Structure 1
């Protein structure tokens, strides 16, 4: 892996992150929960504050959180601060694109078999035209909320759990591809499965698009997501691996799955703001991720 870049100039420019995150639970002394037990559930108030924070970051940085901007830098710092406080080992992966430095954030939960990694991720950047709160603050917030629930439960998974937030995906899946390219053959082989979440809170959607088609799809994960939704009366639709961050992993032969709620009316526009996310859909998506991750964390492929 690339060396950690903890001391970056942009960290000093983050305004209000510590205050916003002061209400989040730090790593505590509660009894650890084994993977495979009953997963926790979350409510709107657990996930929507993260989206509100990303909106505020965009508002004070020219209206977006795009690659190479202060808005993206603050977004990374916000997520990282929450994870560091919860007890994760975090690392920034630096890359260059279009003459600007980019960063992906990777966080490892201590424990689990390092030869069997369950990696869960979402892209954190927006386009320059808008704040990107559904695309893809919603996926990023769902993944962050899930990671914090892992920490709160002090989960003891069989698989090693890793979480990631990719940079410069809106300009061509750059951050995820850079991460995969930087892995050794052994590190690539250790990743059993990558789960991806892109646009998890679209309004007026009651059908979840589950990544199921393609040669590099993990059938067990796809079935688990389908079952979670259908057991609760939600329809699903099968989609392929391509078109989002999981394409970088599929190209490297790493099995993947995940889901989306589909494109919103404000895709890649200034109106992709906090009002463009349906809190109920976002909460359902986050609970689906938590439920399936709890299940998959307990198994080794």
Structure 2
């Protein structure tokens, strides 16, 4: 997760009008009910994290933009997706004097005019391997994508997964992608789900606040964001885990999407902020301690992961993908 807070992104969502809401209504009675999402084995997600750790260890201890560890991470993810039947595209850009890459993976089928995107940044900071930030989100969406392939899911909406480069330098990869999309292609994206840090050791359970129901911060997301929030909240309610809203503050890759009016949502387990006593009572863990004490440090390794949080958030991702991709076109 980036420390950069681009000012133009913070309140962009509140100034946009005329954006079509994300369709979340149930299918007509004559249509079959959507399939339930599978339980995603956390062991599979952790196996990807171990691979990312090994890549970092073999490449100077990190997976940062412009470093060999990032490209090796991208090659690992791409190979898994290619083998599973995805149509992958590597998008190249240059920033901070180095070549960067985004990886896009399209699942064949679905309405090409109604695209649901799921993304996570793949780069680490230079100080460490970035296993929670953001190996966790990258591995969770990778295993969700592989579960889509195993199930041979045939969603109504077209599914596109993305692994972004250079997020830690200010959302450079996702911004490049959005800024270079023709307006007709932007209008096809009906929702963007972002997962940046979903295994913090002193974990919280935060859901991006699509309707600004907490009344503070950067305001609501574009029309449709509240529906995404509700789908994710419904999953956590179903497993009796309370959630809190987290603001669209521009710190992660949803920023470029909401700036052009694309509905967004996702989950987050916390970074350098400290868990309050009330949150510790609600979620367990340690009060007055950072959600992730290894945030942007060399100790962000495979030992810096809360397995329970990673498991729950990965299953929430799968639930959101299965539910939202089954929705009819807006």
Q: Give the TM-score normalised by structure 1.
A: 0.87
**Which residue in 1 is equivalent to 2:58?**
60
Describe the SS at the equivalent of 2:35: coil
User: CA 1:204 to 1:215, structure 2 compared with 1: closer, same or farther past 3 Å?
Assistant: closer
Task: Say if 1:35 and 1:294, in contact at 8 Å, map to a contact too.
Answer: no
Do structure 1's residue 126 and structure 2's residue 117 form an aligned pair? no
Describe the SS at the equivalent of 2:294: coil
Q: Which runs of 4+ in 1 moved over 6 A?
A: none
User: CA 1:148 to 1:236, structure 2 compared with 1: closer, same or farther past 3 Å?
Assistant: same
**Which residue in 2 is equivalent to 1:215?**
221
Which residue of the other structure, out of 45, 48, 67, is the alignment partner of 1:47?
Answer: 45
| 1:17-166 correspondence to structure 2 within 5 Å | 36-166=34-164
Supply the distance in 2 between the matched residues of 1:226 and 1:187 (Cα, whole angstroms).
29
Do structure 1's residue 259 and structure 2's residue 267 form an aligned pair? yes
Which residue of the other structure, out of 229, 232, 245, is the alignment partner of 2:236?
Answer: 229
Q: CA deviation at 1:206?
A: 4.4
Which residue of the other structure, out of 303, 306, 316, is the alignment partner of 1:278?
Answer: 306
Q: CA deviation at 1:146?
A: 0.5
Q: CA deviation at 1:252?
A: 1.4
Do structure 1's residue 250 and structure 2's residue 258 form an aligned pair? yes
Unmatched segments (≥5 aa) in structure 1: 1-33
Describe the SS at the equivalent of 1:170: helix
Supply the distance in 2 between the matched residues of 1:159 and 1:123 (Cα, whole angstroms).
23
Task: Say if 2:65 and 2:166, in contact at 8 Å, map to a contact too.
Answer: yes
Which residue of the other structure, out of 162, 166, 171, is the alignment partner of 1:173?
Answer: 171
Do structure 1's residue 288 and structure 2's residue 305 form an aligned pair? no
User: CA 1:52 to 1:127, structure 2 compared with 1: closer, same or farther past 3 Å?
Assistant: same
Describe the SS at the equivalent of 2:234: helix
Q: CA deviation at 1:235?
A: 1.6
Task: Say if 1:108 and 1:161, in contact at 8 Å, map to a contact too.
Answer: yes
Supply the distance in 2 between the matched residues of 1:227 and 1:267 (Cα, whole angstroms).
29
Task: Say if 2:34 and 2:326, in contact at 8 Å, map to a contact too.
Answer: yes
RMSD after superposition: 1.3
Describe the SS at the equivalent of 1:196: strand
The C-alpha deviation readout for 1:142-183, integer Å capped at 9, x for no partner, is 100000000000100000000000000001100000000110
User: CA 1:35 to 1:59, structure 2 compared with 1: closer, same or farther past 3 Å?
Assistant: farther
**Which residue in 1 is equivalent to 2:296?**
268
Which of the two has higher C-alpha Rg?
Answer: 2
Describe the SS at the equivalent of 1:235: coil
Q: CA deviation at 1:35?
A: 8.3
Supply the distance in 1 between the matched residues of 2:221 and 2:319 (Cα, whole angstroms).
25
Bigger relative CO (Cα 8 Å, ≥ 6 apart): 2
Supply the distance in 2 between the matched residues of 1:276 and 1:107 (Cα, whole angstroms).
28
User: What is the aligned length?
Assistant: 268
Unmatched segments (≥5 aa) in structure 2: 1-31, 213-219, 272-291
**Which residue in 2 is equivalent to 1:15?**
none
Describe the SS at the equivalent of 2:303: helix
